[in-house]
Structure 1
Amino acid sequence: MIIEILVPDLPESVSSATIAKWHKKTNETINRDEVIVDIETDKVVLEVAAPESGVLESILKKEGSVVFSKQLIAKLKPVNIINETDINQAEEISDIFQKKTLIENDTEVLNPSLRRLLSKHNLKPNMIEDKDIIGKTTRKKIDSYLLDSNKLHSDKNSKNKQDSDFNMDNRYRRVPMTQLRKTIANRLLEAKNNTAMLTTFNEVNMKCIINLRKMYKEKFIESHGVHLGFMSFYVKSVVEALKCYPEINASINGEDIIYHNYFDVSIAVSTSRGLVTPVLKDCDMLSFSDIEKKIKKLASKASDAKLKIEDLVGGNFTITNGGVFGSLMSTPIINPPQSAILGIHKIQDRPMAVDGKVEVLPMMYVALSYDHRLIDGRESVGFLLKIKELLEEPVRLLLNI
């Protein structure tokens, strides 16, 4: 009995995936639930584990291959049908095959150390030529051959810099794009080319929220076991603003407009693999502590490449916080098929006129990029003003006004 290793079910929004990394090699022993291969989609990395302990009999798709849902990629021989005789026979057959390969078209029988050396470099005895040393294959002949081969390989690389990871001057590095990075690039171009994107700005006085966080920081941690961050205020204010302006929570589908009666907010998270946008579901039903806990969990999963498909699908509106990297202002790009995205930026002290006097206040720019085909200036400006009101007077979030 052979167990087939298949690509996991991919959702309808994910058409294909890529073999990212094989953690096991052919004929290698695998324990049950041990990860065999990583499969990368345009949204997340899926780990495929062994359903049973056994030996990996064959790998059918190499790293970098494009695969599809339920496609056969490897075969596993379970441990319960592997006995000592099978193992001994396999080792004998492998040894005989190696010997036959190495001495093919050559009557010479080599000692084990030379066989291992030739096998390591994928060589045959009849490939080793040395005009000055005639006779049997020796270590000196092999070393001489490898030295000449490495020199030739080095010369070839210097002539073909474009095909190598590093050029000889080490002035640039060439690496293939990941499937995630390719998808990000395509979607950014799609958003730019297929939407009438426009960005509007406003600024927010963050003094009240900063004071509120300082005042209740310790009590919040004691009560909920998580820090009170800025993001919960942003999410709460976005939900209330979306309720006032349903066009911003809508999307275009062909010649129709789809209005969403729920509030699933995507949170942009930067990882070593690229930007991902895990989704907070039903944000209108979440408390401040619920939001902080869920964001912390999703951020941790994103950094460890543990996000699942269900963590990433959906989302009607996106919040991206460039302020964590020091961005003072930006024009974020819409995340299709969504119609708008809110950019949050660095909080910075600036002199502001208040009642005819100059005060230094912690100010933050906010930016709303939106699809002008669906959202007009009145809705976009009103949306940002609502965000501004709620953040400058956070008590409104508690009183729902």
Structure 2
Amino acid sequence: MAYLSTTDFTQDKDFIDKWLYTIRTGEMDLSWMKSATEKISPEEANPRRGLTYRDLNVGTYGYTDIPEKVRNNRSYAPRGAEIPEGVPDAQPWVSRKSELWAFNTESYYEEAVSRQWNATTDIPWDRLDGVELPEVTGKALSQLMTFLTEVEMIATDTPAMWLPRLNPDFIEVRSFIAAQAMDEARHAEVFRKRALTTGWGLMQASPINEMALKHLRDADSFSEMSVALHLVAEGNVLTLFRFSEYLSPTDVDKKIFRLVMQDEARHVGYGMQHFKYVLEHFPEKREVLHAHLDEAENISFAGAAATELTEAFIILAGGGLKKENIEQGIKITTQFNLKQMQEHFERLDKCGMPERRQRSKLYLMYEMGRAAAENAGIKLN
């Protein structure tokens, strides 16, 4: 290995002579043809769906029998390949299944590649021609889009930075994470385009929200990152997208939010399935997951204090700056904030952690907020 790392092959006469001799004479080694690997014949379980990762879950190429700790592969070799001496150590950080595996991972990837959409051609941008929103509404919409561009930029960076750290034996997870990064890049693109097409350009970045977003990048482990990003942050954003689609001032905006919602739901689904997998297979990690949630809830939900988002949301929800508009906007924004918290705990219930309601300070905040809203005559579903 030291020789490989220090030798300049272009200056190695013996290597060049051997290479030229092989090409000139056709005397090949062909030892790779004798690789001690399994011979299989995978078939499509559903011809309409095509050959999927799940169809390849056979023998040594499958994922069913991946051990908790991958010990025999630290290279870039794909799972099932023969690993000869001399391959480099890729130094993967994540080689434990409990750190990243999720039920149905391969299905989430297949869905991601089959439901790709194009922010350039799949959005009817021409329908915005001649559409002029009132100044206050246009600026509020642009501020929302500015905030969402920030969100999606960090949501692109965070999963992407983990890709080279994941052991290649977990190819299904690596493929899903790569597809997610592409999803998030497309979201950042579509929100930036919409901000600029409002006629008001981008508005103001949010210090509070960016501090919360930075927390996602600072996670010490992939599992901690997944709890914070896939389960908590993207769960919150999924609720935000649904309310934003409802508040959208144009059909173009509604189309945007419907498309990003389908991607976000997939990311949240992976997070939930990873959480469930860990709880079911490694119950001793339950307290670790509670600790991850303590931090993620505290930081992610603090974004509600950011005026850059909250005030823009109130204006869009109420339709203006008159007193009656603001009152209506506050009611809808309150419903949205409480719905975010409600759905967060509903997701944890489905994951198998119903006791989170008793452990979380956020749930106490939710109950207090719900009581105050009901006393104020704000109806909640």
Give yes or no for TM over 0.5. no
Higher relative contact order (CA 8 A, sep 6+): 2
Q: Which has the larger radius of gyration?
A: 1
Instruction: Name whichever structure is richer in helix by fraction.
Output: 2
Structure with more strand by fraction: 1
The TM-score, its normalising length taken from structure 2, stands at 0.28
TM-score of the superposed pair, with normalisation by structure 1: 0.27
